[in-house]
Structure formats: C-alpha cells, structure tokens
C-alpha cells in the first residue's frame, strides 16, 4: 500500500526579548532606515540566558504534538535542523528527545544551514513514505545571536532566534509532501561560514581574538546567489509535483531579506501577497524561519486544509532547496456501512500499536473502521 507523509501538527517558540533596530543603533554603527530599506527587518527575538537551541526546539515540538493525539512516546524519529547546535556533540535532537520523553525515537541533527528545515522535512517524509517509520518530528531551531559578532554591522542586524516544528505522520491517502529539490554548491562555502571551532580550525586564543568563532559573510555574493536559486527551485518543485505555479496557494520562503523574496516573486511572476513574509518581526531565524512563517500564516487564516504550498530556502554550504506539499485534513472521513464516520484512531497510531503488541494491522484497522460513529 502506498504511504504518504502528511503534516499533521505544527508549533513555534520564540524568545520574549525583542531587539529593535533602534536598540542596534546603540550597539553598532547602523540605523533603522538602512536596515529596513536593505532587509525589511524592524526587530528580532534574542535568546535569554535560559533559552537554548534545545529549549526552544522542545517548546516548538510540544506545541506541534499538542492536540494531535500523538504522544511523544509514539514518535519514531526526531530531526533537528540547526546551525547553532548546543554542542558539536551530542546532537541537539537527542536533548530534545529526552526532554519531551520520546522514548522510542531515533534522533539526529541535520546541518544544511538555513536550508536545513527543507532538507530535514524531505528526509523524514522519505522515511515515512518508505514505511520504515510512521511518525516524525522535524524541528528548525536556532540561537544564532550567540554566534553573531555585534560589532559587525553586516551580520548583527540580520539574525534572530526561534524555533518551529512539524509533526509528520504516515497515511494511506494522497497528500502531504509531494515533491522536493535538494541542492548544494560547496565551492561557495567561504561566502558564509563560521571558520573556527570545528576540527579544521580548533578554537584557540588566537581564533577568538580574531573573531573567527562568529558568522562571517559576503553579503553581496550571498544575495546574488539567493536571488538566482529561489525562483528556479520553486519552479522545479512545482513541476515535479505535476502542478502549475497557479495551483500554489502560498509560497513560504526562508526569511533572509525582503528584497530576496521580492526578487523571487518577480522571477515567478507571482504577486507578493502569495508569499508569507514575517521577516519584519523576526529577522533571519535560519532553519526556524519557514516553520515559524507557516505557523503564523495558519493562525492568521492564510493557510487552510487542501492548500498546495511551496517551502523554499537557501543558505550556507551553499545549499538551497524547495518542497511542495498539500495540507490535508488530519483524519479523512471514512464510509462505514453507508454512513459517514471518522477514524477515531489514526492508521499511523494503529500501526505503531500493532507493532508493539504484535497483532496484525489489518485486523486492527478493520475493527476500528467498522465501529459506528458516536
């Protein structure tokens, strides 16, 4: 039976502390007008001493599970996409796994910079579709404020902290993740990097003195690259899904710079109101920006079940990618003895329960689906 990877839950978490452009004017030689004009950013959230990449990820993950009927203990896999992990190892995903009590889950981090959430979602969806797992949490979480040099105005103004998470469940009916594109061009690695702190350039007094443990970026070149790939990856993923640009309700782009999103809209000949944009309030939260934008668009009623969406992003690596999806209803109504009913327990949960108690899934589904509605 063909399996499909549906997005059935989502959640976000951002720190309370707000850092405005006016606040930044007091720290570094910049001004609100320049930042707003060149990036579209007014303010960003900054982690408090107690916020960490794992704590924000944990909050977002719990919110994604909330109301879905899926317990943390039923999750099979947790992927945390991040470029500000808590440690080189252990993985931030393992910390989240422990904090939410996902006792049956495998967990790992995925590093593809700001494209990480799309790559992670695609990997989890492939695992669900293959039938090897039923339920996955995909999380993008960052505390990039800890990796930014607030004396460097070219990067200090851009980044913010936050997390967003999707719950993915296997279903037997079409929908969910439809197609995806994952790309990399490592020859552009030096355009955006944190040079020190890894095995190539271990941290020394010298590397710290020279600020090599902070983000270094060639903004102009990254900008040029981003405007090149955003529209093409979107077009590619729509075509692969067998759709046309007109079939897409909303594009949810990585929030790096408003001008980059505007260029993508022009390239796709789409009005800007078909893009979710919230960079004004959060800046660039890297792997978290797409799921945060999704959550806000859902809360504002801009996304509805049945919508076809494209998620698209780019980042260090260089990496870029896109993913087309249809947001379907959590549970699809079933015909039972000529009457309409709903599945009271999802098939993914049945499969998971079936695996655990060693009974045949088919008989479990038969019993549940033939139960009359309450």
Binding residues for ligand ACO, rule: CB under 6 A, are 30, 34-35, 38-39, 113-114, 153-154, 157, 192, 217, 219-220, 222-223, 226, 256-257, 284, 286, 315-316
Q: Is 295 a catalytic residue?
A: no
Reading the block at residue 302, the tokens are 């801009």
Active site residue 114: yes
CB atoms inside a 10 Å sphere around CB 144:
27
41 or 62: CB nearest ligand ACO: 41
In the numeric block, which tokens belong to residue 204?
Answer: 């020394």
CB 257 within 8 A of CB 39: yes
6 a catalytic residue: no
Instruction: Give the residue with the Cβ less far from ligand ACO, 75 or 256.
Output: 256
- Beta-strand ranges (E) seen in the chain are 4-13, 18-20, 43-45, 77-81, 106-110, 135-142, 162-171, 176-184, 192-193, 216-217, 250-253, 308-315, 319-326, 333-336, 339-342
Give the three-class secondary structure for 363. helix
C-beta of 97 vs 286, nearer to ligand ACO: 286
Considering beta carbons, is residue 94 or 155 the nearer one to ligand ACO? 155
Measure CA 324 to chain center: 13
Nearest 5°: phi and psi at 65? -80, -30
**Which CB atom, from 54 or from 226, has the smaller least distance to ligand ACO?**
226
Q: How far apart are CA 61 and CA 53, in angstroms?
A: 12
Of 254, 257, 278, 295, which residue is the catalytic one? 254
Per annotation, catalytic residue among 21, 257, 278, 284: 284
| Minimum separation from the CB atom of position 191 to ligand ACO (A) | 9
Q: How far is the CB of 192 from ligand ACO (least distance, A)?
A: 5
Q: Nearest approach, Cβ of 35 to ligand ACO (angstroms)? A: 6
Q: Which of 6, 21, 83, 114 is catalytic?
A: 114
Radius of gyration of the chain from its Cα atoms, rounded to whole angstroms: 21
Residue whose C-alpha is closest to residue 283's, from 62, 26, 14: 14
DSSP string covering 195-217, please?
-SSSSSS---HHHHHTTTTS-EE
CB of 114 to ligand ACO, least distance (A): 4
* Min separation Cβ 173 and ligand ACO, Å: 35
Catalytic residues: 114, 254, 284
């Amino acid at each position: 039976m063909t399996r499909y990877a549906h997005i059935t839950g989502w959640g976000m978490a951002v720190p309370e502390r707000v850092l405005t452009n006016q606040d930044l004017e007091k720290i570094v030689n910049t001004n609100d007008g320049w930042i707003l004009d060149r990036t579209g950013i007014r303010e960003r959230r900054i982690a408090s001493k107690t916020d960490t990449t794992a704590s924000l990820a944990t909050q977002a993950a719990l919110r994604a599970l909330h109301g879905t009927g899926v317990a943390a203990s039923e999750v099979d896999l947790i992927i945390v996409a991040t470029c500000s992990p808590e440690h080189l190892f252990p993985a931030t995903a393992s910390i989240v796994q422990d904090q939410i009590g996902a006792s049956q889950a495998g967990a790992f981090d995925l590093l593809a910079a700001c494209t990480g959430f799309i790559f992670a979602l695609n990997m989890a969806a492939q695992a669900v579709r293959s039938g090897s797992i039923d339920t996955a949490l995909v999380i993008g979480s960052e505390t990039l404020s800890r990796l930014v040099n607030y004396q460097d105005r070219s990067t200090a103004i851009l980044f913010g902290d936050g997390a967003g998470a999707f719950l993915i469940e296997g279903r037997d009916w079409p929908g969910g993740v439809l197609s995806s594109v994952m790309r990399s061009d490592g020859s552009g690695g030096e355009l955006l990097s944190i040079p020190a702190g890894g095995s190539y350039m271990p941290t020394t007094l010298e590397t710290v003195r020279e600020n090599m443990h902070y983000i270094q970026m060639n903004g102009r070149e990254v900008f040029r690259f981003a405007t090149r790939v955003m529209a093409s990856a979107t077009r590619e993923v729509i075509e692969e899904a067998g759709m046309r640009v007109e079939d897409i309700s909303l594009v949810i782009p990585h929030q790096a710079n408003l001008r980059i999103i505007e260029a993508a809209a022009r390239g796709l000949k789409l009005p800007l109101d078909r893009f979710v944009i919230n960079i004004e309030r959060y800046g660039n939260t890297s792997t978290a920006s797409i799921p945060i934008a999704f959550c806000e668009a859902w809360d504002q009623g801009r996304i509805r079940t049945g919508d076809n969406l494209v998620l698209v992003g780019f980042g260090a690596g260089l990496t870029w990618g896109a993913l087309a999806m249809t947001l379907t209803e959590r549970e699809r109504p079933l015909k039972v003895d000529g009457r309409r009913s709903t599945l009271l327990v999802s098939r993914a949960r049945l499969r998971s329960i079936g695996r655990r108690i060693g009974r045949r899934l088919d008989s479990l589904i038969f019993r549940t689906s033939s139960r009359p509605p309450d």
